[in-house]
Amino acid sequence: MKNNKFKRALKTILVSMMLLCLSADAKAQTDTFQKNDTIYLITTNDGGEFIGKIISDDGREVVIMDKNKGKVILPKYAIKSLDIATKNNVIGNNIFHSNPHPSRYLFSPSAIALKKGEGYMNWFYFLIFQMQYGITDNFSAGITTSWLLAPTMLNLKYTIPVDDNFNVAVGGQVGKLYITDDNVVSLGFASGTYGTSESNVSLNVGYGSYERDGISIATLSGVHRIGEHASVMGEFWYCQPNSGDPFFMGGPALRLYSGRKATFDIALLALGFKEDVSNDDGYYNPSTGVFRPNTYTKKWKAYYPLPLLSISYKI
């Protein structure tokens, strides 16, 4: 009797172990299939780009089934980067390269950091340009200037990732409006960005000073990827000088992508500020000689559209 119970128990254990082994084997096969079914973004040293599934990798060559070029054999030494496509790289059934310029909108920064060794150059009408470079994964530095070295500003930003979809950053600019200027212009800011590098919204608050005068600044910016080659974008600034009337600037923009490095920003901006507008209430009485001039009231005036062209290139 005891032997029968022992045999049944042993049989149960063996069957359970076999089922576990089969389950593990099935899981391993599933994992292998998922790995082979993964979509990769491959960049070669000569600037070539390939997107597709890796068929084989023998350590010397990688065989990829590119979505456009078909079966391609790449020597390992020719591959510069090999990245797995994430949900941020997919719209519908299309896979595309990531936004190469997620750390900035038109003018205002996002809280998304440049990675260590990444950088970009940005031109506004090829007259004013800026460069930024990732010193670490969280800290970047750069310069804003023009062909006339007016202005010349040092740019700094430090990012603190909170989670996958939320980043905060602090930073600033310091420099001169022109080389021989005796005064220093400075700006400090704090930024929060919610979303991915492809679609997000950012709020910036800052304070700047020049010639003992100050200005408070708030900006609201956003970008949304709509396809492989385009994103819609918007940016709005509200500024309040300490010794003057407030003004605003902003509008919609379109970001166009050329490959994985270049972007073209085309915007139609509005500039608004308060002006003294006549109430046309002045009069002159010739019989009494009494003259009263017109009174004036400050009213918002907006000027639109003001076109903007900006070109950025990832380095």
Q: What is the pLDDT of residues 55-73, one digit of tens each?
A: 888 888 899 988 778 889 9
Whether residue 2 has pLDDT greater than 70: no
The residue ranges of every structural domain in the chain are: 2-95, 119-314
> What is the CATH number assigned to the segment(s) 119-314?
2.40.160.40
List the structure tokens of 51.
């997107």
Residue 50 has pLDDT above 90, yes or no: no
Q: Encoding tokens for residue 78?
A: 């020719």
Each residue's pLDDT tens digit, 230-254: 999 999 999 999 988 999 999 999 9
| Nearest CA-CA partner of 311 in 255, 260, 269 | 255
Tell whether the model's pLDDT for residue 306 goes beyond 80: yes
Q: What tokens appear for 109 in the block?
A: 């920064």
Residue 74: the pLDDT is 92
pLDDT class of 268 with cuts at 50, 70, 90 = very high
- Here the tokens at position 28 are 């391993």
User: For position 290, what pLDDT does the model report?
Assistant: 87
Please state, rounded to an integer, the average pLDDT across all residues of the chain. 85
3-state secondary structure of 4: helix
pLDDT of residue 10: 45
In this structure, the strands spanning 166-176 and 152-163 are: antiparallel
pLDDT digits (tens, 9 = 90+) for 83-136: 777 766 776 666 777 888 899 999 999 999 998 988 999 999 889 999 999 999
Q: Cα(241)–Cα(11) distance, rounded to whole angstroms?
A: 84
2-95 classified as CATH 3.30.70.260:
no
pLDDT of 172 above 60: yes
Q: How many C-beta atoms lie closer than 10 Å to residue 213's C-beta?
A: 12
Please give the structure tokens belonging to residue 301. 């005036």
- Assign 105 to helix, strand or coil: coil
Q: What is the mean pLDDT of residues 147-171?
A: 95
Strand partners, 284: 291
**pLDDT for the residue numbered 15:** 43
In angstroms, the CA 157 to CA 173 distance is: 9
**pLDDT tens digit sequence for 174-199:** 999 988 898 999 999 999 999 999 99
Give which of 201, 208, 264, 259 is closest to 234, Cα–Cα.
Answer: 201
Residue 12 is which amino acid? T
What is the pLDDT confidence band of residue 82, given thresholds at 50, 70 and 90?
confident
Sign of CA dihedral 63, 64, 69, 75: negative
Under 8 Å CB-to-CB from 171, ≥6 apart: which residues? 109, 155, 156, 157, 158, 188, 189, 191
